[in-house]
Amino acid sequence: MRITCPYCGARDAQEFGYLGDANPQRPDGMDATEAAMHDYVHLRDNPAGRHRELWYHGAGCHAWLVVTRDTRTHAIEAVEVARKTKAGAAA
């Protein structure tokens, strides 16, 4: 599996670290209910198919990326810089 980093080009997935689903949004600090925080920390859609996920180019440019990938085939559809995309919005 290779990920095409917007800054570095196509690189082996070994250069990247994986965080998980890019969609959950951290609730706002002290205002969040316990249920909302539980939902954010623990619950996932875990789809079989299209998945927007956060990868970190630790052995490259140190950018956080949002990768849109099919979890059934590992085919990568899109790679965006996380800072430039609003995580949680439609890709």
Partner 1 sequence: MSANLRLTRPLTLSLTLTGPPMRYSVFSLLAQTLKGHKGWQPTWRDAVPKPEYDVLVIGGGGHGLATAYYLASRHGIRNVAVIEKGFIGSGNVGRNTTIIRSNYLLPGNTPFYELSMKLWEGLEQDLNYNAMVSQRGVLNLYHSDAQRDAYARRGNAMRLAGVDAELLDREQVRAMVPFLDYENGRFPIQGGLLQKRGGSARHDAVAWGYAHAGDRNGVDIVQNCEVTAISMENGRAVGVETTRGPIRAKKVALAVAGNSSRVAAMAGLRLPIESHVLQAFVSEGVKPLIDTVVTYGAGHFYVSQSDKGGLVFGGDIDGYNSYAQRGNLPVIEDVMESAMALWPGVGRIRMLRHWGGIMDMSMDGSPIIDHTPVAGLYLNAGWCYGGFKATPASGFCFAHLIARDEPHPVAAAYRLDRFATGRVIDEKGVGAQPNLH
33 sits near partner 1 (criterion: CB under 8 A): no
Cα gap 54→67, rounded to integer Å = 6
45 sits near partner 1 (criterion: CB under 8 A): yes
43 sits near partner 1 (criterion: CB under 8 A): yes
Determine phi and psi for 82, rounding to 5 degrees: -60, -35
Cα gap 89→83, rounded to integer Å = 13
Binding segment toward partner 1, per CB under 8 A, in 31-39, 58-66, 83-91: 31-39
Q: Which is nearer to partner 1, 51 or 57 (CB)?
A: 51
